Amino acid sequence: MTRTVYVNGEYLPEGEAKVSIFDRGFLFADAVYEVTSVLDGKLIDFDGHAVRLERSLKELDMASPCSKEELLEIHRKLVELNGIEEGLVYLQVTRGSDGDRDFVFPSADTPPSLVLFTQNKPGLADSPAAQKGAKVISIDDIRWGRRDIKTVQLLYPSMGKMMAKKAGCDDAWLVEDGYVTEGTSNNAYYVKNGKIVTRPLSNDILHGITRAAVLRLAAEAQMEIEERLFTIEEAKEADEAFTTSASAFVMPVVEIDGVQLGDGTPGPIAKRLREIYLEESRKKAV
């Protein structure tokens, strides 16, 4: 089946989709994005993603291409047209193009580009990877300083994924000034003596939508949470660890830099948080 995508007001077969070669998303990575999961044909945490998108656009002085209501309609139509029961909807907004390349932003009346596409991911909720747990390595964090803005500047995180793959692992945790910031595409946590430890929000990490939901659910479940800086050495001594993201929900971590955590299987807190996150998210899905 040919996938239907959305490009600047049109629903098109993916083979017919086009943007200008002068689009600033292509030339300068001058663009932001969001990823919304789909379970049972419905969108997970859509409001949170829409709010964060607006914040990213505002931080970059970029125009919003449409209202939240219009964005929801586009998401729902793409899910329907592509028959997505479990999967993802990717959205990207760029500063657009005024027909040439220039470091200076185009005039304010230049329309932004809006592109959305779906990915069909059967078994997203019952992921074998989550049942096995992930192995991670640590690498230096050399990204730009505004990681709170969800831009498409993803080259170094992609390189980090490849470093992990080369090492026979699944992902990498980024370390700056001796402290873990986050994973390449997720927020990072460890658990020691029943306490969940994660880095506090700042410009240094992405303000994860799944992070916010999971921490709220953990608090409601009477779990102890501490938001503070932590080192990779602390994480290696943990009883268990995990990451959160829109595309993987709660992913247990069973090894860090070759050091096995616990008995080398997903820990009870990570498994419980994944369970309650999926349960609650499905109830509130749109």
For 126, what's the count of Cα atoms within 13 Å in the CB-facing half-sphere? 3
Q: Which residues contact 138 (CB under 8 A, 6 or more apart)?
A: 172, 173, 174, 175, 180, 232, 256, 257
Catalytic choice (18, 42, 68, 150): 150
Q: Whole-angstrom Cα distance, residue 208 to residue 77?
A: 25
- Confirm whether 192 is a catalytic residue: no
**Residues whose CB falls within 8 Å of the CB of residue 33, separated by 6 or more in sequence, listed in order:** 90, 91, 92, 93, 150, 151, 152
> Cα separation of 38 and 248, whole Å?
11
**Closest Cα to residue 259, out of 277, 232, 221?**
232
Which positions are catalytic? 150
